[in-house]
Amino acid sequence: MKNVGFVGWRGMVGSVLMERLNQESNFKLFTPHFFSTSQVGMTGPKEGGGELLKDALDISELSKMDILVSCQGGDYTKQIYSNLRKNWKGIWIDAASTLRMEESSTLIIDPVNGESINQAIKKGKKDFIGANCTVSLMLMATKNLFENDLISWVSSMTYQAASGAGANNMKELISQMGFLWNQTENHLKDKTKSILEIDKVISQSLKSDAFPDDNFKAPLAGSLIPWIDSKMENGQTREEWKAQVEANKILNRSKDIIPIDGTCVRIGAMRSHSQALTIKLKKDVPIDEINSMLKENHQWMSFAENNQEDSRDILAPANISGTLNIGVGRVRKMTLGPDYLNLFTVGDQLLWGAAEPLRRVLIQLV
């Protein structure tokens, strides 16, 4: 059996990956070894049979693995990968963005580009990299529209959960919620207080120096942040830039680029990213045909008819989080014209947007 090393398995994405490997009884398919940057020599998890944790910075130990799976982040990849690759011929599977646009890398979201992944394996490619979470979720939602070559361009307005920024940010969101509750609890219990009085307290609290915002640098509870990642020269943020370059790489469209752009917004959801898509179709396709194509994307589709009840019950992050379902709904032609399509989608970015593609390509490789 192949020796598979895991780095960053205690982090948020790594923990979800471990959970999925256990749920699917995958650990019996290979010999797992666990690496650490901070707890070398301590007893590892039960999945490793109690083996002591190996040094994630030790190139010689890493080189003993047939496959390495990293959820440790981009800084770790930058520090280790080049030196490791000098003599190591194994397979590198990574959740970080560092290697995504390298020519040697294959981006992985197999329900969308399974054939490209198969070809990469047959050709002996060694680097399999998870794509950006919102890009993966968008393509899972619109797979058959792209495959049928119906799309001229896409404008994606994303509503991204706190978990996309990391565990500490999730905790801070909860702290912000608690802060607002503490400031208004007595007012809410006092039936004589008007909602405008309560709202004034909330507004003052959001601007208070005591408000917990060390990570977000702004209120997220009771508000939103219309900026994610660093600024690009063209005015986009890097998160917005990733949509076009990564989606087209996944779709093997290096010469016939589909323009994709929009605004990425952080919202007060804990987990699962949502997106409102405006799609310019290449031709007028009846909405019934569009709906049929979307419903047949893959087995994880959760289609919401365009009504209030389905939209509320199926398309909310609260209902999707923790599942492999991809919610798609609000599908309609726009008043802009018959070749303009509106739809809304939501998916758990810690699953299809991060851990699940890593798990699936790992199992395919072993």
Which of 347, 236, 337 is CA-nearest to residue 279? Answer: 337
331-364 per-position pLDDT tens digit? 999 999 999 999 999 999 999 999 999 999 999 9
What was the pLDDT predicted at 297?
97
Q: Is 298 tagged catalytic?
A: no
Confidence bin at 6 (pLDDT 50/70/90):
very high
pLDDT tens string 252-284: 998 999 999 999 999 999 999 999 999 999 999
Q: How far apart are CA 27 and CA 17, in angstroms?
A: 11
pLDDT in tens, 180-237: 999 999 999 999 999 999 999 999 999 999 999 999 999 999 999 999 999 999 999 9
Residue 144 makes CB contacts below 8 A (sequence gap 6+) with: 293, 294, 296, 297
What is the model's pLDDT at position 217?
Answer: 97
Active site residue 33: no
Q: Which of 33, 71, 264, 273 is catalytic?
A: 273
* Vertex 276: Cα angle to 292 and 142 (nearest 5): 35
Helix (H, G, I), strand (E, B) or coil at 354: helix
Angle of helix 238-250 versus helix 110-122 axis, rounded to 10: 60
Instruction: List, in order, residues 6 or more apart from 213 with CB less than 8 Å away.
Output: 172, 176, 219
pLDDT per residue over 114-149, tens digit each?
999 999 999 999 999 999 999 999 999 999 999 999
Domains and CATH numbers, the chain: 3-131+354-365 (3.40.50.720), 136-161+227-262+269-353 (3.30.360.10)
Mean of the pLDDT values across residues 70-75? 97
Find residue 91's DSSP bridge partners. Answer: 67
Choose, from 71, 133, 264, 298, the residue flagged as catalytic.
133
- 272 conformational bin, left if phi > 0, alpha if psi -120 to 50, beta if neither: left
pLDDT at position 329 is 98
3-class state of residue 272 by DSSP? coil
